[in-house]
Structure 1
């Protein structure tokens, strides 16, 4: 990993930790957040996954449109550190935690 890649990764970890802390307190069924990235195609290659307790928790989240709130939170927090997602709906996934 190059030095610049490490700096980006540190920013990502900090932001996603903040998002995780907020989501744990405010979103029912939310459990964790993680990311994958290919630094040679950053930020388009960034994929953020949010883990939930069950498919029902994700369905309820979407019914209440809280998924939009979560995605906006991720987008805004990343933008605050100059990381701009190209398409938040494709780059943020809601998954059932295993």
Structure 2
């Protein structure tokens, strides 16, 4: 990995770690998050996956409008490290441990390829 790409990835990790720690305190079923990116097409290729414990947590997220709040949190932290995405809705998806277990036998690497 080139030095500039490594630095960029470190900034993404830093921003997402801060967002993750904040979201864990919200008591909405949020567990963790991860990201994927093709840095030759960055930031357009950035995809953040927010993982919840149950499918019901993901369904409730939208009803209670916490999806917007969580996306804004992620976007704010990305902006703090100089990363601007055009439409945060296209860069953040929501998933659950329950769905991964049911559909991919808990294999997150396999599942994230399709997110």
| TM, length-normalised to structure 1 | 0.95
Q: CA RMSD in A?
A: 0.9
Tell me which residue corresponds to 1:33: 33
Tell whether 2:76 aligns with 1:76: yes
Structure number with greater Rg is 2
Aligned residues: 98
CA distance in 2, matches of 1:87, 1:27: 26
Other structure's SS at 1:84 match:
coil
Match of 2:112 in 1: none
CA displacement, residues 20-55 of structure 1 (integer Å, 9 cap, x when unaligned): 100111142100010000010000000000000111
Instruction: Give the unaligned 5+ runs of structure 1.
Output: none
Q: Which residue of 1 aligns with 2:103?
A: none
Q: TM-score, normalised by structure 2?
A: 0.82
Task: Specify every segment of 5 or more residues in structure 2 that has no aligned partner in the other structure, as ranges.
Answer: 101-115
